[in-house]
Amino acid sequence: MSDILAPWSKEEFEAELRGRSSSYHINHPFHQMMAAGTLTPAQLRGWVANRFYYQISIPLKDAAILSNCDNREIRREWILRILDHDGVNIGGVQDEGGIEAWIHLGGAVGLSRDDVTSLRHVVPAARFAVDAYVNFARRQPWQEAVASSLTELFAPHIHQQRIDTWPTQYPWVDATGLRYFKQRLTQARRDVEHGLHFTLDYFSQTRALQQRALDILQFKLDVLWALADAIMLSQCEIEIKGPKA
């Protein structure tokens, strides 16, 4: 049917993309429990340890896009995402990167560096959800992988929610651990500006392509939802001894 319909205007297309916000994982029961302060310390630690696998997979996903992308202008922008996560030390510019910041978040909730980096707490269904995203980026045209990153349209809201709620809901968490969420507020907005501009242009050639972009966004929304399912339903709860127990 979408083959014979005229493409939406870019404004209508963007509204359709943003209209998928109800499927975003901020609405998942696990994240609603997080925002309400009802997660136990062991549950919060389980989430941090499992999400680390997503964090270290993002640069692999972005490198897959770069390796498939024949457009230098897109690559010049997209490579920034890898530096955001892996960190950088170029010409005096030093930044530990988001992966290191997530390890620091692990320490803030009472996990050792090895608890996080060993991946021993990552549950199989969490790996499957994250690997589905990385493999999508490896196998699909780079333009489709760009569109799949647009769940970040909704990310500033969930990062801000953690920044706003954790200090009162989880006062036992060292506040310096929130550094990751704070830096994502600006990085996600920069990413979305670039990814959305490209997606609105490239996928607006036909209504069928616009529908494809919506289906790709729904796939990625399902990846994030399935990741939250995996963490909640596997009951990954990491107990520790000591003051943050």
User: By CB under 6 A, which span of 115-123, 152-160, 163-171, 202-210 interacts with ligand AHQ?
Assistant: 152-160
Q: Segment 178-207, which members bind ligand AHQ (CB under 6 A)?
A: 184
Q: Is the CB of 13 or the CB of 52 nearer to ligand AHQ?
A: 52
Token code pair at residue 44: 């919060």
The answer to whether residues 39 and 231 touch, using CB atoms and an 8 Å cutoff, is no
| Closer residue to ligand AHQ, CB minimum distance, 191 or 207 | 191
229 binds ligand AHQ (CB under 6 A): no
Residues 207/10, Cβ–Cβ less than 8 Å: no
Min CB(6)–ligand AHQ separation in Å = 30
Least Cβ distance, residue 239 to ligand AHQ (angstroms): 24
Name residues whose C-beta falls within 8 Å of residue 242's C-beta, 6 or more positions apart in sequence: 110
Does 155 engage in binding with ligand AHQ (CB under 6 A)?
yes
Of the candidate residues 34, 39, 49, 58, the single one contacting ligand AHQ (CB under 6 A): 58
Task: Examine residue 74 and tell whether it contacts ligand AHQ (CB under 6 A).
Answer: no
DSSP 166-200: HHHH-TTS-GGGGHHHHHHHHHHHHHHHHHHHHHH
Quick one: angle between helices 179-202 and 155-169, nearest 10? Answer: 170
Kindly state the smallest distance separating residue 51's Cβ from ligand AHQ, in Å: 7
Single out the residue of 149, 199, 204, 211 in contact with ligand AHQ (rule: CB under 6 A).
Answer: 149
Least separation in angstroms between CB 192 and ligand AHQ = 9
Q: Does 115 bind ligand AHQ (CB under 6 A)?
A: no
Q: By C-beta, is 23 or 206 nearer to ligand AHQ?
A: 23
Q: Does 152 bind ligand AHQ (CB under 6 A)?
A: yes
How far, in Å, CA of 221 to CA of 215, rounded?
10
- What number of chain residues touch ligand AHQ (CB under 6 A)? 7
For 46-102, give the secondary structure using H, E and C: HHHHHHHHHHHHHHHHHHHHHHHCCCHHHHHHHHHHHHHHHCEEECCEEECCHHHHH
Radius of gyration of the chain (CA): 18
Q: Does position 28 bind ligand AHQ by CB under 6 A?
A: no
DSSP H or E segment with residue 17: helix 10-18
Q: Does 104 bind ligand AHQ (CB under 6 A)?
A: no
What separation in angstroms does the CA of 23 have from each of 3, 167, 189, 214, 221? 26, 27, 19, 12, 6
151 is a contact residue toward ligand AHQ (CB under 6 A):
yes
Using CB under 6 A, list all residues that contact ligand AHQ.
58, 149, 151-152, 155, 158, 184
